[in-house]
Structure 1
Amino acid sequence: MAYVGDNLTSFATEKPERSALKCGAAGWTWRELIRDIEAVECHIQSRAPRGGRIALFLHDPTALLICFFACVRTGRVAVVADAAWPQGLKSVTLSEVKPDLCIDDKSFAADCGIKSRPERLARAQEAPPGEADLFYAGFTSGTSGAPKGYVRTHGSWLKSFELSNRAFGVTRADRVVLPGGLTHSLHLYGAVCGLACGREVVLLHRFDPRAVLSELGGAGSGAVLYATPTQLHYLCEAARRSGPVDTVRQVLASGAKWRDKDRTALAGVFPKAQLIEFYGASETSFIAVSRPRDKVPAGSVGRAATGVQLVIGDPHDPAPAGRSGPIWVRSGMLFSGYICGDAPQTRWRDGWLTFGDDGYLDSDGFLFLTGRGNRMIITGGLNVYPEEIEAVLEDHPAVAVAVVAGLPDSVRGHRLEAAVQLSGPLPDAASVLRRHCAARLATGKVPRKFHIRENLPVTAGGKPDIQRVVSDLLHGEGKEDA
């Protein structure tokens, strides 16, 4: 593969009537998929220069995926934005990114020629993109809450595809099922990697645990599921009523630390599946991989992935085993920089990259995460990583999800408070959870207040929306237990 998506035309020739893409009642064979991608390619080539940025604001994940491939196969940069952004945020981001073309729901339907024009326009003859060319820009939260846009080269994702195939052993026979929106880099990567490697990809318009289980149950053997740990938790909850699914061959989890109790529960939901966790970031692709055969210690995210160098603290003077510090990475899968937004914790040094996550390595090379540097809370002079407290709370059998925040306090600087979503009844929940934390944490790390929520807000990618939770706590919204 010389560039992302260059095999799609050959797949359309080799297996034209085989299913390539499905979302709800809509479906595409490989022949239909390449037809629609080429129609959008003609539109893009006539309106944006080679190397130009194409902003994609599309609610329909299939339209987004078709436009994505049309951009990257013609040497343009697909700027994948969230169509649900409020107009103010959209306007500010566009003013910084300065796209050459924007495609939204209306313009896609009117101008892109998908299944609506009888004539076929000839594609312009251009040299194909190369591995060093930029092809994709996505967004993740910046330090101010505004999105920061990262950009990747074809080569960085091609190397990621190679690692996926080698480490996970996925074959062309597998169906790849994506339960969330494609603005989340995990789900977009799974969809693009799946199609680029000749697999059928199944998308869902939104995350619905029962719909995901139904799709997996009807998939036949060989289904592969990409999901965040939060999504997998809700799948386990839904499966208590619907029963296990034995058609899933592999579950690939990323986006947050996968709790040991959730992994154990999921083994009962997908009894024939290999459960794999990988740790990385939008800027890095894969960093560490945890597979069942690796005998990974509890709490670890695994060892460095093949081709990845990993050190803690300082790339030229690494910290000893057991000492926490910034995580530094070097590999061929790293991003190329930011096109907008503020990211002071992302730094380069002699080919090494650090991006705000802290952790430590044990004597056997297993990586343990201690938190995000930009989430660290100073309370009463004590440096606290909220992730440590969240992990303790989520270890309680009645807790589904927890978010810990530091709120302004005139005495301590910040005070620790926890917003908790329960998985079942828990009388006098605040007192029970306070005792649970006190038995496992230093006194200064026990939250001063516990806020019990019926549901915590989640991002489009299925992870807890920390910024919204903190905003709610600051404004005193929801039920509160002192």
Structure 2
Amino acid sequence: MDGYRVSPAKAPPEGRVALIAAHPVDASAAQLMAAIDAGREFCIHTGRSPDAGPDGGAFVQCETSGSSGQPKRIRRSHASWIRSFELDRGLWNTAQGDHVAVFGPLSHSLALYGAVCAMHIGADLSVIAAPRPDVRLRQMDAAAPTRLFTTPTQLRQLATALDGVTPISALRHVLVGGGFLDGAARESAQALFPNAAIHGFYGASETSFITFSDAGTPPLSVGRPYPGVTLRIRDGNGNDLPSDEVGEIWVRSPFLFEGYALGNSKETRWQDGFLTVGELGWRDAEGFLYHAGRRNRMFTVSDRNVFPEAMERILLDQPGVAHAAVLPVPDPRRGSVPVCFLSGPSSLLDPGAILRACRQRLGAEIAPRRATLLEDWPTLPSGKTDLAALERLLQGAS
């Protein structure tokens, strides 16, 4: 079933870790509830053999998005999420009468977080896994949730079905993670959910929430630190940097993960109780964080560091652009040059005008050189752009 309220079911298979298949979604959600009721460590997986990890304690295993590489499975304590669930009660005034909706499957951390949060506070839970955005909206309208966990990509997909769909008035809070909440996605969310406060979250599967934003946050910022989070911007030698200087984002909080149960990342490092996953950014004098991008996506054009995420935000601000991704191609004179993939209604997209707007904002030297329009945008189960699929398209075109 693609959209439903979750009820407990028989317990997942015996063993120290409850291994729960992500599909079918209805069975996955019901077994998750049974595992939580039994106080068991659980892992929702997509077919790869989970690693139970060390003995002792109550833990969660979930997958990273894998947007720029192979997904990893992270392991975190129940307590790390419970602390933020309790903070959420005050931030969003949540209570047992609430009804939480997430977009399945539950193998990725944002959907899983929302589902477990609902179970923890005693709220109703709807897991909506229909692939078509118009069907998702109809199922949400029928469920009448008060709180939604979603991603910017999922919001942009829902916006394509806005015509002829009645706005969902029951929603009070829309919590957006898994990517930058750009202005167009925020406007789409407000049109779809007119009575809801829209909040963007910046974080990673390894860190959980780092910052959150609201309507008063500067347009390009990802917000101020989430309660309980301490931020540092550091240079390559581990020294703290002053305001407005780009460096590596380091986080200390009670919400950090325990380690990887499957896979690893050389970008993930610890120092004096702080964790980094290799993301770069800066803070302004008022404490707002600006996310430049991931170190492993950065490339150089004529000896200048270029962050594709920053370019993608500019592209998403252009008329008609529903999805955007920037990738480098080798160039004998400049080292590399950026190109972009775009998706959106063909009647609204003007690639020439979009590229000109980028040149005005970024300068001709580092702006994308060409745009490729895609009718079907490749996404991962988490809702994020499948960058590996776009890389293959790029290589096939070269």
Relative to the length of structure 2, the TM-score reads 0.91
Q: Is the 8 A contact 1:54 1:99 kept in 2?
A: no
Tell me the alpha carbon deviations over residues 409-461 of structure 1, each in whole angstroms, 9 at most, x when there is no partner: 3443322111111234257x332222111111122221122111112101112
The match for 1:149 among 50, 73, 78 is 73
| 1:307 corresponds to | 228
How many Å separate the matches in 1 of 2:275 and 2:51? 27
How many Å separate the matches in 2 of 1:355 and 1:337? 12
| 1:59 corresponds to | 23
Map 1:62-81 to 2 at 5 A: 62-72=26-36, 74=38, 76-81=40-45
Map 1:288-367 to 2 at 5 A: 288-292=211-215, 295-313=216-234, 317-367=239-289
Amino acid at match of 1:331: S
Q: Is the 8 A contact 1:144 1:342 kept in 2?
A: no
Any stretches of 5+ residues in structure 2 without a counterpart? Answer: none
The answer to which structure has the higher helix fraction is 1
Q: Give the 3 Å change call, closer, same or farther, for CA 75–178 of structure 1 in structure 2.
A: closer
Q: Is the 8 A contact 2:128 2:139 kept in 1?
A: no
How many Å separate the matches in 2 of 1:25 and 1:385? 38
Q: Give the 3 Å change call, closer, same or farther, for CA 340–250 of structure 1 in structure 2.
A: same
Alignment partner of 2:143: what SS? coil
Alignment partner of 1:187: what SS? helix
How many Å separate the matches in 1 of 2:351 and 2:191? 30
Map 1:218-229 to 2 at 5 A: 218-220=142-144, 223-229=146-152
Amino acid at match of 2:385: P
Alignment partner of 1:192: what SS? helix
How many Å separate the matches in 1 of 2:390 and 2:293? 18
| 2:367 corresponds to | 446
Cα deviation, residue 305, structure 1: 0.8
Q: Is the 8 A contact 1:142 1:343 kept in 2?
A: no
How many Å separate the matches in 2 of 1:143 and 1:464? 6
Amino acid at match of 1:217: D
| Greater shift in the superposed pair: 304-313 or 69-78 | 69-78
Task: Select the structure of larger CA radius of gyration.
Answer: 1
Q: Is the 8 A contact 1:253 1:277 kept in 2?
A: yes
Q: Is the 8 A contact 2:301 2:337 kept in 1?
A: yes
RMSD value, Cα: 2.5
Q: Give the 3 Å change call, closer, same or farther, for CA 313–271 of structure 1 in structure 2.
A: same
| Greater shift in the superposed pair: 211-220 or 397-406 | 211-220
Cα deviation, residue 184, structure 1: 2.0
The match for 2:202 among 279, 282, 292 is 279
Cα deviation, residue 82, structure 1: 1.9
| 1:206 corresponds to | 130
Tell me the alpha carbon deviations over residues 235-281 of structure 1, each in whole angstroms, 9 at most, x when there is no partner: 22212221322221111111101111321232222111111111111
Cα deviation, residue 74, structure 1: 4.7
Cα deviation, residue 172, structure 1: 1.4
| Greater shift in the superposed pair: 276-285 or 405-414 | 405-414
Cα deviation, residue 356, structure 1: 1.6
The match for 2:192 among 259, 266, 269 is 269
Q: Is the 8 A contact 1:61 1:181 kept in 2?
A: yes
| 1:463 corresponds to | 384
| 1:387 corresponds to | 309
Alignment partner of 1:240: what SS? coil
Identity of aligned residues (%): 34
Q: Is the 8 A contact 1:407 1:416 kept in 2?
A: yes
Q: Is the 8 A contact 1:143 1:343 kept in 2?
A: no
Alignment partner of 2:354: what SS? helix
Q: Is the 8 A contact 2:3 2:127 kept in 1?
A: no
| 2:345 corresponds to | 423
1:248 matched to 2:212? no
| 2:336 corresponds to | 414
How many Å separate the matches in 2 of 1:25 and 1:361? 40
Q: Give the 3 Å change call, closer, same or farther, for CA 98–335 of structure 1 in structure 2.
A: closer
How many Å separate the matches in 2 of 1:432 and 1:25? 40
Q: Is the 8 A contact 2:267 2:277 kept in 1?
A: yes
| 1:20 corresponds to | none
Amino acid at match of 1:40: A
How many Å separate the matches in 2 of 1:24 and 1:140? 23
Alignment partner of 1:40: what SS? coil
Amino acid at match of 1:290: S
Amino acid at match of 2:376: N
| 1:168 corresponds to | 92
Cα deviation, residue 475, structure 1: 1.3
How many Å separate the matches in 2 of 1:311 and 1:260? 27
Alignment partner of 2:64: what SS? strand
Cα deviation, residue 73, structure 1: 5.1
Q: Give the 3 Å change call, closer, same or farther, for CA 142–245 of structure 1 in structure 2.
A: closer
Cα deviation, residue 56, structure 1: 2.9
How many Å separate the matches in 2 of 1:27 and 1:291? 29
How many Å separate the matches in 2 of 1:350 and 1:462? 34
Q: Is the 8 A contact 1:216 1:223 kept in 2?
A: no
Q: Is the 8 A contact 2:73 2:263 kept in 1?
A: yes
Q: Is the 8 A contact 1:213 1:235 kept in 2?
A: yes
Tell me the alpha carbon deviations over residues 309-358 of structure 1, each in whole angstroms, 9 at most, x when there is no partner: 01111597421111111111101110011123230111101110011211
The match for 2:82 among 158, 168, 182 is 158
Cα deviation, residue 229, structure 1: 0.8
* Count, aligned residues: 396
Tell me the alpha carbon deviations over residues 33-83 of structure 1, each in whole angstroms, 9 at most, x when there is no partner: 2xx2xx425x41xxx2xxx44443341223222333444555643222225
Q: Is the 8 A contact 1:250 1:276 kept in 2?
A: yes
The match for 2:103 among 164, 179, 197 is 179
How many Å separate the matches in 2 of 1:430 and 1:24? 36
The match for 1:197 among 113, 121, 134 is 121
Cα deviation, residue 283, structure 1: 0.6
Q: Is the 8 A contact 2:190 2:196 kept in 1?
A: yes
